[in-house]
A = this chain, B = another copy of it.
Amino acid sequence: MAEIPKHHVPEENNTTSEKTGIQEEVPYLALDIGGSLIKLVYFSRYEQSPAEDHDNTDMMKALEHRSHPVHGGWLHFVKFETRDINQCLDFIKFKQLHCRVGTDMESKQKGIAAKIKVTGAGAHKFADLFMEKIGVTVEKEDEMDCLAIGANFLLKVIQNEAFTFIEGKKESVDINKNDLFPYIFVNIGSGVSIHKVAGDGNSELVDGTRIGGITCWGLGRWLTKCKSFNEIIELSKCGNTKRIDLFVEDTFGDREYVEKHTNKWTGPPNMNIGSFGKAISENKTLEDCNAEDISLSLLEMISHNIAQIASLNARIYGIKRIFFGGSFMKDNACALATLSSSVHYASKGTAKAMFLRHEGFVGALGALTSYENKHDLFIMDNDKMWKLP
């Protein structure tokens, strides 16, 4: 896989004063402001290595910063916590990302404020703050439309974007652009939305669940005293659900009987039939249990439930492919594994779970592509593209 060179200039060599962070060519910037996280996507002519950015922006608390080469420049993906909205605005200001966005020369001369595309619930909540702090108007983009548009963009344009997760391994999926539709797209962020995508500009929000990423982090915070959702994911890697959940083998005394008879209706002995079922025992207090086990049970419970609801929707609409996006999946092997196996189980093997590498940025990308004249930017040239590392 080709290495992405630092400061590579894919096309023409524009003058940019990188030391000050000022970019002369930043025609595109969009944000998705969710309940917990802000996802920011912007385009630049030059790559800026995350290391260098860190030097300049470490006071800005970006949780994540990665880049991907596209024709004519680079796409950058940056994440902040929503409660750090001011840090995010400082980041935009420092990099002057807002200066050339969404305004033409005539508007500029008339003193009309630039407009930036923002989606997610925070587009409404923070509109005044954007004007006050960086002097731009927020153009609110429909969150659900952006998710479907962003998913289509990623699946059609970015090579090796989709992958499966089988036996702990990511494997890229070749997407045939002419045979992509229909698919189910499930976005798991703070909330969960389930979309039926039948074509470009042809999508429908069909379902969701209130048991999503925010539930996982909220319950996890109370049950484990973890300081961040990432800590819960980290701890889950050493967890064992057998100490927290109830399994078929726990409820039947006779092991031999279980093995002989339970496949009919209750599933195999190791089938999980009650999340947090062992928490009912009188001699088991919360303090007796370790945070690793609780984290894993919580992640599995929530992932399995989402997979089940997504699979039922896939059955209703006769759809075989389910793509999952959203920040919940980021570095979350437990979620990937559970979603994969649970879709297989719930759909009786008829549907397949796949994942997007730019999982958290689907909505922001959808907003980014909603600028006019976006076509200049996104005409991709496969010969000049690098594969994602």
- A contact residues vs B (CB 8 Å cutoff): 35-36, 83, 121-122, 124-128, 142-144, 190-191, 205, 207-212, 214-215, 217-219, 221-223, 245-246, 251-254, 257-258, 264-266, 272-280, 282, 285-286, 301, 304-305, 308-309, 312-313, 315-316
Contacts of A205 in B (CB 8 A): 265
Contacts of A276 in B (CB 8 A): 214-215, 218-219, 222
A7 to B261, CA, bound (A): 43
Is the CB–CB distance between A273 and B210 below 8 Å?
yes
Is the CB–CB distance between B246 and A280 below 8 Å?
no
A246 to B190, CA, bound (A): 10
Contacts of A125 in B (CB 8 A): 251-254
Contacts of A277 in B (CB 8 A): 35, 190, 214-215, 218
Is the CB–CB distance between A265 and B142 below 8 Å?
yes
Residue A214 contacts which of B210, B214, B246 (CB distance < 8 angstroms)?
B246
Contacts of A143 in B (CB 8 A): 265-266
| A–B pairs, 18, beta carbons within 8 Å | A122-B251, A124-B252, A124-B258, A126-B253, A127-B253, A143-B266, A191-B273, A205-B265, A207-B308, A209-B308, A210-B245, A214-B246, A214-B276, A215-B276, A218-B274, A218-B275, A219-B219, A222-B223
* Further contacts, 9 of them, CB under 8 A, given A221-B280, A222-B285, A309-B309: A124-B253, A127-B254, A144-B265, A207-B308, A215-B275, A218-B279, A218-B280, A308-B309, A315-B316
Q: How far is the CB of A63 from chain B (nearest CB, A)?
A: 15
Contacts of A309 in B (CB 8 A): 308-309, 312
Contacts of A246 in B (CB 8 A): 35, 190-191, 214
A83 to B276, CA, bound (A): 17
Which of A35, A127, A214 has the most CB atoms of chain B within a 10 A radius of its CB? A214
Contacts of A36 in B (CB 8 A): 280
Is the CB–CB distance between B257 and A210 below 8 Å?
no
Q: Which residue of B lies closest to A244 (CB)?
A: B218
A313 to B316, CA, bound (A): 9
Contacts of A286 in B (CB 8 A): 222
Known: A210-B301, A265-B142. A191 touches B124 (CB 8 A): no
Q: How far is the CB of A245 from chain B (nearest CB, A)?
A: 7
Contacts of A282 in B (CB 8 A): 83
